[in-house]
Amino acid sequence: MVNTKVTLSGLTLDNPVIPASGTFGYGYEFAELYDINILGSFSFKGTTKEGRFGNPSPRIAETPSGMLNAVGLQNPGVEAVISEELPKLKKVFNKKVIANVSGFSPEDYAYTCERLDGEEQVGIIECNISCPNVHGGGMAFGASPEAAAEITRVVKKVTKKPVYMKLSPNVTDIKAVALACEEAGADGLSLINTLLGMRIDIKGRKPLLANRTGGLSGPAVFPVALRMVYDVYEAVKIPVIGMGGIMSAEDIVEMMLAGASACQVGAANLVDPFACKKIIEDLPRVMEKYKIKSLEEIIGGAH
Amino acid sequence: MTDSIFEILENKKLARDVYCMRLSGDTSQITRPGQFVNIKIDGLFLRRPISVCDAGGNVLTLIYKVVGEGTRRMCEMRKGVKLSLLTGLGNGYDTSKSGDRPLLVGGGVGTPPLYLLAKKLVSEGKRPCAVIGFNTKDEVFLEKELKALGVPLTVACADGSYGEKGFVTDALPGDYTYFYACGPEPMLRALCDAAHTSGQLSFEERMGCGFGACMGCSCKTKYKNKRICKDGPVLEKEEIIW
Ligand SMILES: Cc1cc2nc3c(=O)[nH]c(=O)nc-3n(C[C@H](O)[C@H](O)[C@H](O)COP(=O)(O)OP(=O)(O)OC[C@H]3O[C@@H](n4cnc5c(N)ncnc54)[C@H](O)[C@@H]3O)c2cc1C
Ligand SMILES: Cc1cc2nc3c(=O)[nH]c(=O)nc-3n(C[C@H](O)[C@H](O)[C@H](O)COP(=O)(O)O)c2cc1C
Ligand code: FES
């Protein structure tokens, strides 16, 4: 028997597989397909203080080995998440969830996190300071170490739950942002969010996405994500949740060797709704193949 | 919704750039006309959404137009090739509102879902009639098949090379109880202005997942935000914001 358990800031997960925010809704679509309690946890759609419709369409474009999205944080707002989505989710998911939060000012983040702090279902708060698809917020905070630290501090003040800062790859030095978050009291880090990209419709001579740019994810970004997790693992002591392009159990092992304590799976869920289930079922086989008894042992093993 | 493997039985050209693919597999999740499937194509990341043209007895029929890389690869696939399809996607048309004499309006490759719809309406004892529009004669398809169901049919061609000259809205009958439509957005809009009854219209949007998880296909309606893939693709005339 292999041991797939991992721990994030005192929260033990049965396995390191966590659907990534924005690619798993609030879980119900998948709960119709399989028992989602097999997941380590899952990170729900980015939630903001007020409800948002998001960006105009088209919001999605295909790329070689991946996709661009410019959804723009569509969500019903934190009050509706607490009063409607979480109770519905409770019926299909009995583990702790990761609450993914976004905002347009430090006060926004503080407000939303304080509201979620009272929710027993929430195990970890994941602050998205890296959304490339909204203007005047999101990525702006993840782009500088000072702003990232400020958001970390205001959020830490309003919640007792572990706070993970979700970092942007669209920076020159991701280690500097990671260190700033650690120093400001972050309990962990999630990386990477999507890489800013673009496609142009040759016939129409215009960007394909209405938002012009979008965030690249999928297997195309895996090597970039892996390198960033590797670098950040060396720079900080707090745990790192690794993500970006994970499609298989082998990718999970590779990401953990780079330094991830757990992993999130994003775009893979969209093209294969059973992706997380397949990865979880395949993990023991892959662990046996590479003679891994316990996944916790291999975290950062490539350093 | 389910993910299952289908095997191509036949893949043949129907009209200019338009192909008909018949596949065998589990069609039990397809419960309403107007639903769609999402097809995984080797080497391409996102699936391709295509409407169900006909389904039953483990045979699925799709009609698609070659417009880009995915559909180009599809048209080259031979008999025996296996494909992963998500089936049972979308709300589909609600036939309970049709009245006795519903009108079906299709534009170009928006016509295929109207075939299964016509079949269902006929089986419910209703008397549907149809108007389908194309740019030109070489693009016309499904004419014989719809007529074979006993559906009175008008074909309109924009350039006058076949059938009535003009757009579908130039060829609408006077007498109908409700309408169902699928086609390019300008056609749908013109139809809503021209039609004297309420109706249901099927929309397209770029999709990430096709089953409601990513918010990639959202649109605003008069009542609430909807996902074209899950709460659509069929919307009611009264709720649409043009
Ligand atoms: C609900 C629904 C039902 C459809 N039914 C049919 C049908 O029965 N027959 C048919 O011929 N076509 C149908 N379409 C359109 C069909 O999905 C596109 O023509 C097809 O995805 C194009 O793929 P491609 O790789 O050839 O084109 P590319 O332009 O190379 O595709 C690039 C990306 O854009 C997406 N895309 C391109 N055009 C469209 C479009 N019009 N709508 C949505 N996504 C698009 C593709 O899926 C892909 O992700 C339907 C679309 C939707 C949303
Ligand atoms: C459609 C879509 C929506 C996303 N929405 C969010 C979001 O709301 N909040 C967030 O922190 N990340 C969001 N992301 C980023 C993912 O959580 C993840 O960081 C990224 O996609 C990389 O992983 P992947 O390559 O496995 O998709 C979204 C990604 C996609 C594809
Ligand atoms: S395409 Fe993902 S929600 Fe509609």
Map out the domains of chain B with their CATH numbers.
Answer: 2-89 (2.40.30.10), 95-239 (3.40.50.80)
% of chain A with per-residue pLDDT over 90: 93
Instruction: Tell me the three state secondary structure of residue A179.
Output: helix
Mean pLDDT computed over A180-201: 97
Which ipTM was obtained for this model? 0.94
pLDDT recorded at residue A140: 75
Q: Do B217 and A59 touch (CB under 8 A)?
A: yes
B67 touches chain A (CB under 8 A): no
- Res A188 pLDDT > 70: yes
Mean pLDDT computed over B15-36: 97
Beta bridge partners of B219: B226
Instruction: For residue A54, list chain B residues with Cβ-Cβ distance below 8 A.
Output: 215, 218
* Cβ contacts of B94 within 8 Å, gap of 6 or more: B32, B200, B234
pLDDT range class, residue A135, cuts 50, 70, 90:
low
- Res B140 pLDDT > 90: yes
Question: How far A291 CA lies from chain B's nearest CA (Å)?
Answer: 32
By C-alpha distance, the chain A residue nearest B209 is A270
pLDDT tens digits, residue range B46-66?
Answer: 999 999 999 999 999 999 999
pLDDT recorded at residue A159: 97
pLDDT recorded at residue A138: 62
Q: Do B212 and A29 touch (CB under 8 A)?
A: yes
pLDDT range class, residue A142, cuts 50, 70, 90:
confident
Any idea which architecture A6-54+75-196+217-298 has in CATH?
A: Alpha-Beta Barrel (3.20)
Residue B188 CA to its chain's centroid (Å): 13
pLDDT recorded at residue B71: 98
pLDDT range class, residue B223, cuts 50, 70, 90:
very high
pLDDT range class, residue A141, cuts 50, 70, 90:
confident
Taking the C-alpha atoms of residue A56 and residue B77, their distance in angstroms, rounded to an integer, is 35
- Res B115 pLDDT > 60: yes
Instruction: For residue A30, list chain B residues with Cβ-Cβ distance below 8 A.
Output: 213
Structure tokens at A255: 């990401």
By C-alpha distance, the chain B residue nearest A214 is B216
Average pLDDT, chain B: 96
pLDDT recorded at residue A137: 56
**Over chain B, what HEC string results?**
CEEEEEEEEEEEEEECCEEEEEEECCCCCCCCCCCEEEECCCCCCCCEEEECCEEECCEEEEEEECCCHHHHHHHCCCCCCEEEEEEEECCCCCHHHCCCCEEEEEEHHHCHHHHHHHHHHHHCCCCCEEEEEECCHHHCCCHHHHHHCCCCEEEEECCCCCCEECCHHHCCCCCCCEEEEECCHHHHHHHHHHCCCCEEEECCCCCCCCCCCCCCCEEEECCCEEECCCCCCEEEHHHECC
Whether residue A131 lies in the annotated active site: yes
In the set A131, A181, A263, A276, the catalytic residue is: A131
Mean pLDDT computed over B201-225: 96
pLDDT tens digits, residue range A37-96?
Answer: 999 999 999 999 999 999 999 999 999 999 999 999 999 999 999 999 999 999 999 999
Greater pLDDT, A136 or B15: B15
What does pTM read for this prediction? 0.96
Say which of A29, A60, A71 has its CB closest to residue B211.
Answer: A29
Instruction: For residue A272, list chain B residues with Cβ-Cβ distance below 8 A.
Output: 3, 40
Which among A2, A31, A4 is positioned nearest to A16, based on CA atoms? A4
**The residue type at A37:** N
Mean pLDDT computed over A170-185: 96
The reply to whether ligand 2 has any atom less than 6 angstroms from the CB of A69 is yes
The reply to whether ligand 1 has any atom less than 6 angstroms from the CB of B68 is yes
Select from A28, A29, A65, A269 the residue whose CB has the most chain B CBs within 10 Å, as the one to mutate to test that interface: A29
Find the ligand nearest to B49 CA: 1
Average pLDDT, chain A: 95
Residue pair B103/B196 in contact (Cβ under 8 Å)? The answer is no
- Res A131 pLDDT > 80: no
- Res B209 pLDDT > 90: yes
Q: Which residues 26-65 in chain B show a CB within 8 A of chain A? A: 40, 44-47
Lowest-confidence segment of A138-147, A223-232, B54-63 by average pLDDT: A138-147
**Over A200-265, what HEC string results?**
EECCCCEECCCCCCEEEECHHHHHHHHHHHHHHHHHCCCCEEEECCCCCHHHHHHHHHHCCCEEEE
Q: Residue B159: count other Cβ atoms within 10 Å of its Cβ.
A: 11
Which among B213, B32, B211, B227 is positioned nearest to B119, based on CA atoms? B32
